[in-house]
């Protein structure tokens, strides 16, 4: 675990450094710029889906989906981000406690 933490930390730091150190034309190519801009959207959307519906390698519909729904509502209401997260966690914990959803 420690090795991967250090590698990932160094790697993300080097990514930041590269922007200051590399000659500009390498990173400034339009295609690279475009791809780098789109990557977070794809990855974050996929993470939302997987972290909501997957349990190891199978699908599992449980209280997390309710938490995600609450998060969507909070975001639509322009709630601050900590409120979004607490609302999602609290609603999930609540329906579990009530025994409505696993």
Footprint of another protein on 19-38 (CB under 8 A) = 19-21, 24, 27-28, 30-31, 33-38
Q: Say how far apart CA 3 and CA 89 lie, in whole Å.
A: 31
Residue 51, number of CB atoms within 10 A of its CB: 10
Residue 99 binds another protein (CB under 8 A): no
Q: Which of residues 35-54 bind another protein (CB under 8 A)?
A: 35-54
- Decide: 73 and 91 in contact? Cβ < 8 Å: no
Counting DSSP H helices and E strands in the chain, the numbers are 5, 2
Residue 61 binds another protein (CB under 8 A): no
Residue 98 binds another protein (CB under 8 A): no
Q: Which of residues 75-94 bind another protein (CB under 8 A)?
A: 75, 80-82, 84-94
């Amino acid at each position: 675990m420690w090795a991967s933490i250090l590698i990932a930390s160094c790697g993300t730091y080097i990514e930041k450094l590269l922007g200051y150190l590399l000659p500009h034309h390498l990173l400034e190519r339009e295609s690279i710029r475009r791809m780098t801009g789109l990557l977070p959207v794809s990855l974050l959307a996929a993470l939302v889906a997987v972290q909501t519906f997957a349990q190891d390698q199978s699908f599992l519909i449980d209280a997390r989906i309710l938490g995600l729904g609450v998060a969507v509502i909070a975001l639509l209401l322009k709630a601050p981000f900590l409120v979004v997260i607490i609302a999602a966690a609290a609603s999930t914990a609540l329906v579990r406690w009530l025994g409505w959803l696993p």
